[in-house]
Amino acid sequence: MKNSKNSLLHWNTRFKKDGGSWETKGGVEQTQFWAELIIEYLPQEIKDKITKDKLSVADIGTALGQIAETFKKVFNDSKITGYDFSDVAIERCNEQYNDINFICGEIKENYDVSILSNIIEHIENPTDELIKHFNYTNKYSIVLCPYKEDPDYLVPEHVVSIDETILIEEINNFKKIYQNVINVRYSKKWAGEMILCVYENQNKDIVKEVIKKAPTTTKKRKTARKRK
């Protein structure tokens, strides 16, 4: 990443156990919220498929592991692996979790499901990032990120605003089978909307396309769950 705000040094410093800003600025709680958001809005057909077939899952950019942890709780029989380029984050994950594998570096093996939560807005070429991880995805790729963030007021670590010009209908052999724009302003975790998409590998005979785009959803205050 050319942006210094996304350098290894920057993220290792943020993820430090003592003095790092990830926890003091609410990174753990926010990531837990994203995990719960994905589980809540992921189409039931796909959740049933993960459960029934014990699909393996790779959480890309796992940070301190909240999404990987949540998926392991919901899909207990699935192999869950978290990836991050921050060795500090991975070391802390491996200290905390015994039933999840955490790997420092790029993904090198195939998984049935990949999760890219709040990742591509940090990348100068987000489509290339999607393609890179699609290449290691057998069935579904779940993508969650801020939607139409104002380009003039991006979060300092964000380098691009994401919308349907990036999350297009088809990327290589992956077709978008689900999209939901979710208003999370009342959650106090993000002052705007998030877009959740699911891409399906068309080279695999997984499910017939019965999942259509969902309408824009408002995430009300009472449903914004916080980590206890």
Residue 154 has pLDDT above 70, yes or no: yes
62: nearest Cα among 26, 37, 41, 87: 87
Going from N- to C-terminal start, the domains of the chain cover: 4-223
Mean pLDDT rounded to a whole number for the chain: 89
Q: What is the DSSP letter of 94?
A: H
| Cα atoms in the Cβ-side hemisphere of radius 13 Å centred on 195 | 22
Q: What is the DSSP string of 35-66?
A: HHHHHHHS-HHHHHHHHHHT--EEEET-TTSH
**pLDDT tens per residue across span 159-200:** 999 999 999 999 999 999 999 999 999 888 998 999 999 999
| Residue 221: predicted pLDDT | 40
Q: For the domain made up of 4-223, give the CATH fold.
A: Rossmann fold (3.40.50)
Element spanning 217, H or E: strand 217-218
Token code pair at residue 173: 């052999």
| Residue 217: predicted pLDDT | 55
